[in-house]
Structure 1
Protein backbone atom coordinates (compact mmCIF):
# COMPACT_ATOMS: atom_id res chain seq x y z
CA UNK A 1 0.00 0.00 0.00
CA UNK A 2 1.48 3.31 -1.02
CA UNK A 3 1.72 6.32 1.23
CA UNK A 4 -0.77 8.38 -0.77
CA UNK A 5 -3.61 5.91 -0.01
CA UNK A 6 -3.22 6.38 3.72
CA UNK A 7 -5.14 8.92 5.71
CA UNK A 8 -3.01 10.69 8.25
CA UNK A 9 -4.62 10.52 11.66
CA UNK A 10 -3.33 12.16 14.79
CA UNK A 11 -4.40 10.65 18.10
CA UNK A 12 -6.91 13.23 19.22
CA UNK A 13 -10.62 13.34 20.03
CA UNK A 14 -11.34 15.48 16.99
CA UNK A 15 -9.65 13.02 14.65
CA UNK A 16 -11.65 10.18 16.24
CA UNK A 17 -14.92 12.11 15.75
CA UNK A 18 -14.06 12.85 12.12
CA UNK A 19 -13.23 9.19 11.42
CA UNK A 20 -16.47 8.03 13.06
CA UNK A 21 -18.43 10.47 10.91
CA UNK A 22 -16.67 9.24 7.76
CA UNK A 23 -17.37 5.62 8.71
CA UNK A 24 -21.04 6.39 9.35
CA UNK A 25 -21.31 8.20 6.00
CA UNK A 26 -19.70 5.28 4.18
CA UNK A 27 -22.04 2.78 5.86
CA UNK A 28 -25.09 4.90 5.02
CA UNK A 29 -24.00 5.18 1.38
CA UNK A 30 -23.42 1.45 1.13
CA UNK A 31 -26.82 0.70 2.66
CA UNK A 32 -28.54 3.05 0.21
CA UNK A 33 -26.79 1.42 -2.75
CA UNK A 34 -27.75 -2.01 -1.40
CA UNK A 35 -31.42 -0.98 -1.15
CA UNK A 36 -31.33 0.40 -4.69
CA UNK A 37 -29.68 -2.75 -5.99
CA UNK A 38 -32.25 -4.96 -4.24
CA UNK A 39 -35.15 -2.91 -5.61
CA UNK A 40 -33.77 -3.12 -9.16
CA UNK A 41 -33.10 -6.85 -8.85
CA UNK A 42 -36.63 -7.51 -7.63
CA UNK A 43 -38.18 -5.38 -10.38
CA UNK A 44 -36.16 -6.99 -13.14
CA UNK A 45 -36.95 -10.49 -11.95
CA UNK A 46 -40.60 -9.52 -12.27
CA UNK A 47 -39.90 -8.17 -15.76
CA UNK A 48 -38.16 -11.40 -16.81
CA UNK A 49 -41.06 -13.47 -15.50
CA UNK A 50 -43.51 -11.32 -17.41
CA UNK A 51 -41.39 -11.58 -20.59
CA UNK A 52 -41.55 -15.37 -20.42
CA UNK A 53 -45.32 -15.34 -19.84
CA UNK A 54 -45.88 -12.86 -22.68
CA UNK A 55 -43.78 -14.89 -25.12
CA UNK A 56 -45.76 -18.03 -24.29
CA UNK A 57 -49.02 -16.16 -24.80
CA UNK A 58 -47.66 -14.57 -27.97
CA UNK A 59 -47.22 -17.97 -29.64
CA UNK A 60 -50.84 -18.86 -28.90
CA UNK A 61 -52.20 -15.51 -30.10
CA UNK A 62 -50.17 -15.55 -33.32
CA UNK A 63 -51.37 -19.08 -34.04
CA UNK A 64 -54.99 -17.95 -33.62
CA UNK A 65 -54.36 -14.89 -35.80
CA UNK A 66 -52.83 -17.00 -38.58
CA UNK A 67 -55.78 -19.42 -38.52
CA UNK A 68 -58.27 -16.56 -38.59
CA UNK A 69 -56.42 -15.10 -41.60
CA UNK A 70 -56.74 -18.44 -43.39
CA UNK A 71 -60.45 -18.60 -42.51
CA UNK A 72 -61.05 -15.05 -43.73
CA UNK A 73 -59.23 -15.68 -47.01
CA UNK A 74 -61.23 -18.86 -47.52
CA UNK A 75 -64.62 -17.24 -46.94
CA UNK A 76 -64.09 -13.68 -48.23
CA UNK A 77 -61.64 -14.38 -51.02
CA UNK A 78 -58.67 -12.14 -51.66
CA UNK A 79 -59.34 -8.90 -49.78
CA UNK A 80 -55.74 -7.65 -49.78
CA UNK A 81 -56.38 -5.12 -52.57
CA UNK A 82 -59.26 -3.62 -50.59
CA UNK A 83 -57.06 -3.30 -47.53
CA UNK A 84 -54.20 -1.73 -49.48
CA UNK A 85 -56.51 0.81 -51.14
CA UNK A 86 -58.06 1.91 -47.83
CA UNK A 87 -54.80 2.58 -45.98
CA UNK A 88 -54.54 6.25 -44.99
CA UNK A 89 -53.03 6.51 -41.53
CA UNK A 90 -52.12 4.04 -38.83
CA UNK A 91 -55.01 3.30 -36.49
CA UNK A 92 -52.85 1.83 -33.74
CA UNK A 93 -50.01 4.02 -32.54
CA UNK A 94 -47.42 3.73 -29.79
CA UNK A 95 -46.76 6.26 -27.07
CA UNK A 96 -43.47 6.20 -25.14
CA UNK A 97 -43.39 7.12 -21.45
CA UNK A 98 -40.77 6.98 -18.73
CA UNK A 99 -40.90 4.88 -15.57
CA UNK A 100 -38.60 5.52 -12.61
CA UNK A 101 -37.40 2.53 -10.59
CA UNK A 102 -35.02 3.40 -7.77
CA UNK A 103 -33.51 6.29 -9.71
CA UNK A 104 -33.19 4.38 -12.99
CA UNK A 105 -35.35 5.71 -15.82
CA UNK A 106 -36.95 2.97 -17.91
CA UNK A 107 -38.90 3.48 -21.14
CA UNK A 108 -42.48 2.18 -21.27
CA UNK A 109 -44.45 1.71 -24.49
CA UNK A 110 -48.22 1.72 -24.64
CA UNK A 111 -50.49 1.43 -27.64
CA UNK A 112 -53.56 3.51 -28.38
CA UNK A 113 -56.14 3.68 -31.15
CA UNK A 114 -56.50 6.83 -33.17
CA UNK A 115 -59.19 7.59 -35.72
CA UNK A 116 -62.03 5.43 -36.94
CA UNK A 117 -61.99 1.97 -38.46
CA UNK A 118 -61.70 2.42 -42.23
CA UNK A 119 -62.38 -1.29 -42.78
CA UNK A 120 -65.85 -1.38 -41.25
CA UNK A 121 -67.52 -2.22 -44.54
CA UNK A 122 -64.88 -4.68 -45.74
CA UNK A 123 -66.41 -8.13 -46.06
CA UNK A 124 -69.96 -6.84 -46.09
CA UNK A 125 -70.88 -9.06 -49.03
CA UNK A 126 -69.33 -12.21 -47.58
CA UNK A 127 -67.01 -13.24 -44.78
CA UNK A 128 -67.78 -10.30 -42.50
CA UNK A 129 -67.75 -12.38 -39.33
CA UNK A 130 -64.37 -13.92 -40.17
CA UNK A 131 -62.93 -10.50 -41.01
CA UNK A 132 -64.14 -9.11 -37.68
CA UNK A 133 -62.52 -12.07 -35.90
CA UNK A 134 -59.35 -11.48 -37.93
CA UNK A 135 -59.22 -7.82 -36.84
CA UNK A 136 -59.75 -8.75 -33.18
CA UNK A 137 -57.05 -11.41 -33.25
CA UNK A 138 -54.47 -9.19 -34.93
CA UNK A 139 -55.34 -6.29 -32.62
CA UNK A 140 -54.63 -8.59 -29.67
CA UNK A 141 -51.36 -9.66 -31.32
CA UNK A 142 -50.26 -6.04 -31.81
CA UNK A 143 -51.14 -5.28 -28.19
CA UNK A 144 -49.00 -8.19 -26.98
CA UNK A 145 -46.14 -7.23 -29.30
CA UNK A 146 -46.10 -3.69 -27.89
CA UNK A 147 -46.10 -5.07 -24.34
CA UNK A 148 -43.30 -7.51 -25.18
CA UNK A 149 -41.24 -4.75 -26.83
CA UNK A 150 -41.69 -2.56 -23.76
CA UNK A 151 -40.54 -5.36 -21.45
CA UNK A 152 -37.54 -6.22 -23.60
CA UNK A 153 -36.44 -2.57 -23.83
CA UNK A 154 -36.62 -2.38 -20.03
CA UNK A 155 -34.44 -5.49 -19.75
CA UNK A 156 -31.93 -4.14 -22.29
CA UNK A 157 -31.76 -0.87 -20.36
CA UNK A 158 -30.97 -2.80 -17.20
CA UNK A 159 -28.21 -4.74 -18.96
CA UNK A 160 -26.71 -1.46 -20.20
CA UNK A 161 -26.76 -0.06 -16.66
CA UNK A 162 -25.08 -3.22 -15.36
CA UNK A 163 -22.37 -3.09 -18.01
CA UNK A 164 -21.61 0.52 -17.12
CA UNK A 165 -20.82 -0.59 -13.59
CA UNK A 166 -23.48 1.59 -12.03
CA UNK A 167 -26.23 0.38 -9.78
Structure 2
Protein backbone atom coordinates (compact mmCIF):
# COMPACT_ATOMS: atom_id res chain seq x y z
CA UNK A 1 0.00 0.00 0.00
CA UNK A 2 1.37 3.36 -0.97
CA UNK A 3 1.88 6.01 1.67
CA UNK A 4 0.22 9.40 1.54
CA UNK A 5 3.54 11.08 0.62
CA UNK A 6 3.81 9.04 -2.58
CA UNK A 7 0.51 10.31 -3.97
CA UNK A 8 -1.45 13.52 -4.17
CA UNK A 9 -4.02 14.33 -1.44
CA UNK A 10 -7.14 14.10 -3.57
CA UNK A 11 -10.65 12.75 -3.07
CA UNK A 12 -11.32 9.51 -5.00
CA UNK A 13 -14.05 10.22 -7.55
CA UNK A 14 -14.71 9.63 -11.23
CA UNK A 15 -13.95 13.24 -12.15
CA UNK A 16 -10.63 13.20 -10.29
CA UNK A 17 -9.76 9.89 -11.95
CA UNK A 18 -10.27 11.46 -15.38
CA UNK A 19 -8.20 14.48 -14.31
CA UNK A 20 -5.36 12.22 -13.12
CA UNK A 21 -5.40 10.28 -16.38
CA UNK A 22 -5.17 13.53 -18.35
CA UNK A 23 -2.34 14.78 -16.15
CA UNK A 24 -0.41 11.54 -16.59
CA UNK A 25 -0.77 11.74 -20.36
CA UNK A 26 0.26 15.42 -20.37
CA UNK A 27 3.30 14.69 -18.17
CA UNK A 28 4.43 11.85 -20.44
CA UNK A 29 3.95 14.00 -23.53
CA UNK A 30 5.90 16.85 -21.92
CA UNK A 31 8.68 14.49 -20.90
CA UNK A 32 8.94 13.28 -24.49
CA UNK A 33 9.22 16.86 -25.76
CA UNK A 34 11.85 17.70 -23.16
CA UNK A 35 13.87 14.64 -24.15
CA UNK A 36 13.79 15.72 -27.77
CA UNK A 37 14.86 19.22 -26.73
CA UNK A 38 17.70 17.81 -24.65
CA UNK A 39 18.88 15.70 -27.57
CA UNK A 40 18.78 18.72 -29.89
CA UNK A 41 20.75 20.81 -27.38
CA UNK A 42 23.35 18.06 -27.03
CA UNK A 43 23.66 17.86 -30.81
CA UNK A 44 24.16 21.63 -31.00
CA UNK A 45 26.72 21.46 -28.21
CA UNK A 46 28.75 18.88 -30.11
CA UNK A 47 28.71 21.07 -33.23
CA UNK A 48 29.80 24.13 -31.23
CA UNK A 49 32.60 22.19 -29.55
CA UNK A 50 33.87 21.06 -32.93
CA UNK A 51 33.76 24.64 -34.29
CA UNK A 52 35.43 25.96 -31.15
CA UNK A 53 38.35 23.59 -31.59
CA UNK A 54 38.79 24.69 -35.21
CA UNK A 55 38.47 28.42 -34.46
CA UNK A 56 40.91 28.34 -31.59
CA UNK A 57 43.67 27.19 -33.91
CA UNK A 58 42.65 29.84 -36.46
CA UNK A 59 42.67 32.60 -33.81
CA UNK A 60 46.12 31.55 -32.65
CA UNK A 61 47.44 31.77 -36.20
CA UNK A 62 45.79 35.16 -36.84
CA UNK A 63 47.16 36.69 -33.66
CA UNK A 64 50.59 35.24 -34.41
CA UNK A 65 50.57 36.79 -37.90
CA UNK A 66 49.36 40.16 -36.59
CA UNK A 67 52.09 40.37 -33.99
CA UNK A 68 54.69 39.27 -36.52
CA UNK A 69 53.54 41.95 -39.01
CA UNK A 70 53.73 44.59 -36.28
CA UNK A 71 57.28 43.51 -35.52
CA UNK A 72 58.17 43.79 -39.20
CA UNK A 73 56.70 47.31 -39.35
CA UNK A 74 58.73 48.35 -36.32
CA UNK A 75 61.79 46.84 -37.92
CA UNK A 76 61.28 49.00 -41.01
CA UNK A 77 61.38 52.13 -38.87
CA UNK A 78 57.68 52.85 -38.38
CA UNK A 79 57.00 54.21 -34.92
CA UNK A 80 53.31 54.04 -33.89
CA UNK A 81 53.58 55.28 -30.29
CA UNK A 82 53.79 59.07 -30.91
CA UNK A 83 50.80 58.92 -33.25
CA UNK A 84 48.70 56.96 -30.81
CA UNK A 85 49.49 59.35 -27.97
CA UNK A 86 49.08 62.58 -29.97
CA UNK A 87 45.99 61.64 -32.01
CA UNK A 88 43.52 59.87 -29.76
CA UNK A 89 40.22 59.47 -31.61
CA UNK A 90 37.03 57.45 -31.04
CA UNK A 91 37.33 53.81 -32.00
CA UNK A 92 36.13 52.67 -35.39
CA UNK A 93 35.36 48.99 -34.42
CA UNK A 94 32.31 48.09 -32.40
CA UNK A 95 30.75 44.83 -31.15
CA UNK A 96 27.01 44.29 -31.77
CA UNK A 97 24.89 41.87 -29.76
CA UNK A 98 22.22 39.84 -31.56
CA UNK A 99 19.41 37.82 -29.98
CA UNK A 100 18.63 34.38 -31.39
CA UNK A 101 17.00 31.09 -30.38
CA UNK A 102 18.64 27.71 -30.70
CA UNK A 103 16.28 24.72 -30.14
CA UNK A 104 14.04 26.90 -27.99
CA UNK A 105 16.84 28.45 -25.91
CA UNK A 106 17.32 32.24 -26.05
CA UNK A 107 21.00 33.00 -26.66
CA UNK A 108 22.94 36.20 -27.40
CA UNK A 109 25.58 36.26 -30.13
CA UNK A 110 28.21 38.94 -30.91
CA UNK A 111 29.42 40.41 -34.20
CA UNK A 112 32.21 42.89 -35.03
CA UNK A 113 31.35 46.07 -36.94
CA UNK A 114 34.02 48.40 -38.42
CA UNK A 115 32.70 51.80 -39.57
CA UNK A 116 35.77 53.49 -41.14
CA UNK A 117 38.88 51.38 -41.26
CA UNK A 118 42.28 53.00 -40.93
CA UNK A 119 42.33 54.95 -37.72
CA UNK A 120 45.76 56.43 -38.48
CA UNK A 121 45.84 57.17 -42.21
CA UNK A 122 49.18 59.06 -42.06
CA UNK A 123 51.03 56.26 -40.26
CA UNK A 124 53.98 55.00 -42.32
CA UNK A 125 53.93 57.91 -44.69
CA UNK A 126 57.69 58.38 -44.59
CA UNK A 127 58.59 54.71 -44.75
CA UNK A 128 56.88 51.33 -44.34
CA UNK A 129 53.42 52.37 -45.50
CA UNK A 130 52.66 49.03 -47.11
CA UNK A 131 53.67 47.19 -43.99
CA UNK A 132 51.38 49.43 -41.92
CA UNK A 133 48.41 48.41 -44.10
CA UNK A 134 49.30 44.75 -43.59
CA UNK A 135 49.43 45.31 -39.82
CA UNK A 136 46.04 47.03 -39.92
CA UNK A 137 44.43 44.19 -41.92
CA UNK A 138 45.97 41.37 -39.90
CA UNK A 139 44.85 42.87 -36.61
CA UNK A 140 41.33 43.45 -37.95
CA UNK A 141 41.05 39.78 -39.00
CA UNK A 142 42.42 38.64 -35.66
CA UNK A 143 39.85 40.82 -33.87
CA UNK A 144 37.00 39.33 -35.90
CA UNK A 145 38.15 35.81 -35.09
CA UNK A 146 38.41 36.65 -31.40
CA UNK A 147 34.85 38.06 -31.36
CA UNK A 148 33.48 34.98 -33.11
CA UNK A 149 35.25 32.65 -30.72
CA UNK A 150 33.99 34.66 -27.74
CA UNK A 151 30.44 34.51 -29.14
CA UNK A 152 30.72 30.74 -29.59
CA UNK A 153 32.06 30.27 -26.09
CA UNK A 154 29.19 32.31 -24.64
CA UNK A 155 26.67 30.28 -26.64
CA UNK A 156 28.34 27.09 -25.50
CA UNK A 157 28.02 28.05 -21.84
CA UNK A 158 24.36 29.02 -22.24
CA UNK A 159 23.57 25.74 -24.01
CA UNK A 160 25.32 23.74 -21.30
CA UNK A 161 23.16 25.45 -18.65
CA UNK A 162 20.01 24.85 -20.73
CA UNK A 163 20.95 21.19 -21.24
CA UNK A 164 21.48 20.72 -17.51
CA UNK A 165 18.12 22.33 -16.68
CA UNK A 166 16.32 20.25 -19.31
CA UNK A 167 17.93 17.08 -18.02
CA UNK A 168 16.85 17.92 -14.47
CA UNK A 169 13.28 18.49 -15.64
CA UNK A 170 13.25 15.19 -17.52
CA UNK A 171 14.54 13.33 -14.46
CA UNK A 172 12.01 15.07 -12.21
CA UNK A 173 9.15 14.09 -14.51
CA UNK A 174 10.43 10.56 -14.98
CA UNK A 175 11.23 9.74 -11.34
CA UNK A 176 9.01 12.03 -9.23
CA UNK A 177 6.04 13.62 -10.96
CA UNK A 178 4.84 10.80 -13.21
CA UNK A 179 5.20 8.04 -10.54
CA UNK A 180 3.27 10.18 -8.06
CA UNK A 181 0.50 10.82 -10.58
CA UNK A 182 0.37 7.14 -11.52
CA UNK A 183 0.15 6.10 -7.85
CA UNK A 184 -2.61 8.64 -7.30
CA UNK A 185 -4.47 7.27 -10.31
CA UNK A 186 -4.09 3.70 -9.02
CA UNK A 187 -5.27 4.79 -5.57
CA UNK A 188 -8.40 6.41 -7.00
CA UNK A 189 -9.07 3.38 -9.21
CA UNK A 190 -8.67 1.02 -6.26
CA UNK A 191 -11.01 3.07 -4.08
CA UNK A 192 -13.65 3.22 -6.82
CA UNK A 193 -13.38 -0.53 -7.39
CA UNK A 194 -13.75 -1.12 -3.66
CA UNK A 195 -16.89 1.04 -3.61
CA UNK A 196 -18.26 -0.90 -6.57
CA UNK A 197 -17.57 -4.20 -4.80
CA UNK A 198 -19.31 -2.92 -1.67
CA UNK A 199 -22.33 -1.82 -3.68
CA UNK A 200 -22.40 -5.16 -5.50
CA UNK A 201 -22.17 -7.08 -2.23
CA UNK A 202 -24.88 -4.91 -0.68
CA UNK A 203 -27.12 -5.52 -3.68
CA UNK A 204 -26.53 -9.27 -3.55
CA UNK A 205 -27.22 -9.37 0.17
CA UNK A 206 -30.45 -7.45 -0.35
CA UNK A 207 -31.48 -9.84 -3.11
CA UNK A 208 -30.59 -12.81 -0.92
CA UNK A 209 -32.69 -11.47 1.96
CA UNK A 210 -35.60 -10.84 -0.37
CA UNK A 211 -35.30 -14.36 -1.76
CA UNK A 212 -35.12 -15.83 1.74
CA UNK A 213 -38.23 -13.88 2.67
CA UNK A 214 -39.96 -15.17 -0.44
CA UNK A 215 -39.00 -18.77 0.34
CA UNK A 216 -40.08 -18.36 3.96
CA UNK A 217 -43.41 -16.93 2.84
CA UNK A 218 -43.96 -19.79 0.41
CA UNK A 219 -43.09 -22.33 3.11
CA UNK A 220 -45.48 -20.58 5.45
CA UNK A 221 -48.31 -20.84 2.95
CA UNK A 222 -47.41 -24.46 2.12
CA UNK A 223 -47.29 -25.73 5.71
CA UNK A 224 -50.12 -23.65 7.16
CA UNK A 225 -52.93 -26.04 6.23
CA UNK A 226 -51.08 -29.33 6.74
CA UNK A 227 -52.22 -31.95 9.20
CA UNK A 228 -49.94 -33.28 11.88
CA UNK A 229 -49.05 -36.37 9.88
CA UNK A 230 -48.41 -34.37 6.73
CA UNK A 231 -46.30 -31.85 8.63
CA UNK A 232 -44.22 -34.58 10.28
CA UNK A 233 -43.70 -36.27 6.95
CA UNK A 234 -42.80 -32.93 5.39
CA UNK A 235 -40.27 -32.17 8.13
CA UNK A 236 -38.85 -35.69 8.00
CA UNK A 237 -38.26 -35.49 4.26
CA UNK A 238 -36.59 -32.11 4.73
CA UNK A 239 -38.53 -30.53 1.92
CA UNK A 240 -38.51 -27.19 3.68
CA UNK A 241 -34.76 -26.79 3.10
CA UNK A 242 -34.29 -24.82 -0.08
CA UNK A 243 -30.98 -23.52 -1.39
CA UNK A 244 -30.76 -19.76 -1.44
CA UNK A 245 -30.33 -19.10 -5.13
CA UNK A 246 -28.81 -15.81 -6.17
CA UNK A 247 -31.42 -14.88 -8.74
CA UNK A 248 -33.62 -11.88 -9.34
CA UNK A 249 -37.32 -11.90 -8.58
CA UNK A 250 -40.18 -9.46 -8.72
CA UNK A 251 -40.22 -7.04 -5.81
CA UNK A 252 -43.93 -6.40 -6.37
CA UNK A 253 -44.66 -9.76 -4.76
CA UNK A 254 -43.57 -8.26 -1.43
CA UNK A 255 -45.70 -5.16 -1.73
CA UNK A 256 -47.73 -4.54 1.42
CA UNK A 257 -51.07 -4.39 -0.39
CA UNK A 258 -50.47 -7.52 -2.47
CA UNK A 259 -49.24 -9.48 0.56
CA UNK A 260 -52.24 -8.39 2.60
CA UNK A 261 -54.56 -9.45 -0.22
CA UNK A 262 -52.97 -12.87 -0.46
CA UNK A 263 -53.19 -13.30 3.28
CA UNK A 264 -56.87 -12.42 3.17
CA UNK A 265 -57.47 -14.94 0.41
CA UNK A 266 -55.63 -17.63 2.35
CA UNK A 267 -57.66 -16.91 5.48
CA UNK A 268 -60.96 -17.18 3.64
CA UNK A 269 -60.54 -19.86 1.00
CA UNK A 270 -58.08 -22.33 2.51
CA UNK A 271 -60.21 -23.27 5.55
CA UNK A 272 -63.26 -23.62 3.32
CA UNK A 273 -61.51 -26.01 0.94
CA UNK A 274 -60.09 -28.10 3.77
CA UNK A 275 -63.48 -28.20 5.46
CA UNK A 276 -65.13 -29.49 2.27
CA UNK A 277 -62.46 -32.14 1.79
CA UNK A 278 -62.88 -33.41 5.35
CA UNK A 279 -66.61 -33.13 5.51
CA UNK A 280 -67.08 -36.91 5.48
CA UNK A 281 -64.66 -37.33 8.34
CA UNK A 282 -66.48 -34.76 10.45
CA UNK A 283 -69.91 -36.26 9.65
CA UNK A 284 -68.73 -39.81 10.48
CA UNK A 285 -68.47 -38.86 14.16
CA UNK A 286 -72.01 -37.91 15.27
CA UNK A 287 -71.01 -37.97 18.91
CA UNK A 288 -68.94 -34.82 18.38
CA UNK A 289 -71.49 -32.82 16.37
CA UNK A 290 -73.15 -31.43 19.45
CA UNK A 291 -69.87 -30.29 21.02
CA UNK A 292 -68.70 -28.75 17.74
CA UNK A 293 -71.98 -26.92 17.28
CA UNK A 294 -71.89 -25.67 20.86
CA UNK A 295 -68.30 -24.40 20.50
CA UNK A 296 -69.12 -22.65 17.22
CA UNK A 297 -72.12 -20.97 18.81
CA UNK A 298 -69.98 -19.82 21.72
CA UNK A 299 -67.31 -18.41 19.42
CA UNK A 300 -69.78 -16.61 17.20
CA UNK A 301 -71.25 -14.93 20.25
CA UNK A 302 -67.86 -13.56 21.34
CA UNK A 303 -66.32 -12.74 17.96
CA UNK A 304 -67.61 -11.85 14.53
CA UNK A 305 -67.20 -14.96 12.43
CA UNK A 306 -66.39 -14.48 8.78
CA UNK A 307 -66.51 -18.22 7.92
CA UNK A 308 -69.43 -19.79 5.97
CA UNK A 309 -72.04 -21.61 8.05
CA UNK A 310 -71.89 -24.68 5.82
CA UNK A 311 -68.29 -25.35 6.76
CA UNK A 312 -68.55 -24.69 10.49
CA UNK A 313 -68.12 -28.29 11.59
CA UNK A 314 -65.16 -28.85 9.26
CA UNK A 315 -63.56 -25.59 10.30
CA UNK A 316 -63.97 -26.54 13.95
CA UNK A 317 -62.12 -29.79 13.34
CA UNK A 318 -59.42 -27.94 11.42
CA UNK A 319 -58.93 -25.47 14.29
CA UNK A 320 -58.80 -28.24 16.88
CA UNK A 321 -56.19 -30.19 14.97
CA UNK A 322 -54.22 -27.04 14.17
CA UNK A 323 -53.89 -26.21 17.85
CA UNK A 324 -52.06 -29.51 18.43
CA UNK A 325 -49.37 -28.99 15.78
CA UNK A 326 -45.68 -29.43 16.24
CA UNK A 327 -44.05 -26.39 17.89
CA UNK A 328 -41.54 -26.39 15.06
CA UNK A 329 -44.29 -25.35 12.71
CA UNK A 330 -45.19 -22.30 14.76
CA UNK A 331 -44.35 -20.15 11.78
CA UNK A 332 -47.48 -21.56 10.11
CA UNK A 333 -49.64 -19.74 12.67
CA UNK A 334 -48.08 -16.34 12.10
CA UNK A 335 -50.80 -15.30 9.69
CA UNK A 336 -53.66 -16.55 11.88
CA UNK A 337 -55.59 -13.80 13.70
CA UNK A 338 -55.29 -13.71 17.49
CA UNK A 339 -58.92 -14.69 18.12
CA UNK A 340 -58.38 -17.97 16.24
CA UNK A 341 -55.83 -19.10 18.78
CA UNK A 342 -58.21 -18.06 21.54
CA UNK A 343 -60.98 -20.01 19.90
CA UNK A 344 -58.80 -23.10 19.72
CA UNK A 345 -58.17 -23.13 23.44
CA UNK A 346 -61.79 -22.32 24.40
CA UNK A 347 -63.27 -24.84 22.00
CA UNK A 348 -60.97 -27.59 23.19
CA UNK A 349 -61.94 -26.99 26.82
CA UNK A 350 -65.65 -26.93 25.99
CA UNK A 351 -65.28 -30.04 23.87
CA UNK A 352 -63.76 -31.94 26.76
CA UNK A 353 -66.69 -30.95 28.96
CA UNK A 354 -69.39 -31.92 26.46
CA UNK A 355 -67.90 -35.05 24.93
CA UNK A 356 -70.25 -37.93 25.88
CA UNK A 357 -67.49 -40.45 25.39
CA UNK A 358 -65.42 -38.98 28.21
CA UNK A 359 -68.19 -38.00 30.67
CA UNK A 360 -68.92 -40.24 33.59
CA UNK A 361 -72.47 -41.26 34.50
CA UNK A 362 -73.84 -39.91 37.75
TM range (shorter): 0.7 to 0.9
Equivalence for 1:82: 83
- In 2, the alpha carbon distance for the partners of 1:100 and 1:115 equals 31
- In 2, the alpha carbon distance for the partners of 1:146 and 1:74 equals 29
Equivalence for 1:109: 110
CA-CA distance at 1:27 after TM superposition? 1.6
CA-CA distance at 1:66 after TM superposition? 1.2
Equivalence for 1:56: 57
What SS does the aligned partner of 1:145 have?
A: helix
- In 2, the alpha carbon distance for the partners of 1:116 and 1:63 equals 21
> Does the C-alpha gap of structure 1 residues 132 and 114 become closer, same or farther in structure 2, counting only changes over 3 Å?
same
Highest RCO, 1 vs 2 (Cα 8 Å, sep ≥ 6) = 1
Instruction: Count the aligned residue pairs.
Output: 166
What SS does the aligned partner of 2:120 have?
A: coil
- In 1, the alpha carbon distance for the partners of 2:144 and 2:132 equals 18
> Does the C-alpha gap of structure 1 residues 166 and 148 become closer, same or farther in structure 2, counting only changes over 3 Å?
farther
Normalised by the size of structure 1, how large is the TM-score? 0.85
Segment drifting more, 17-26 vs 102-111: 17-26
Normalised by the size of structure 2, how large is the TM-score? 0.42
- In 1, the alpha carbon distance for the partners of 2:49 and 2:169 equals 20
- In 1, the alpha carbon distance for the partners of 2:86 and 2:42 equals 49
Equivalence map 1:26-37=2 (5 Å) = 26-37=27-38
CA-CA distance at 1:82 after TM superposition? 1.2
Contact 2:38 2:163 in 1 (8 A): no
Structure with the higher fraction of residues in strand conformation: 1
Contact 2:93 2:113 in 1 (8 A): yes
Moved runs in structure 1, 4+ residues, more than 6 A? none
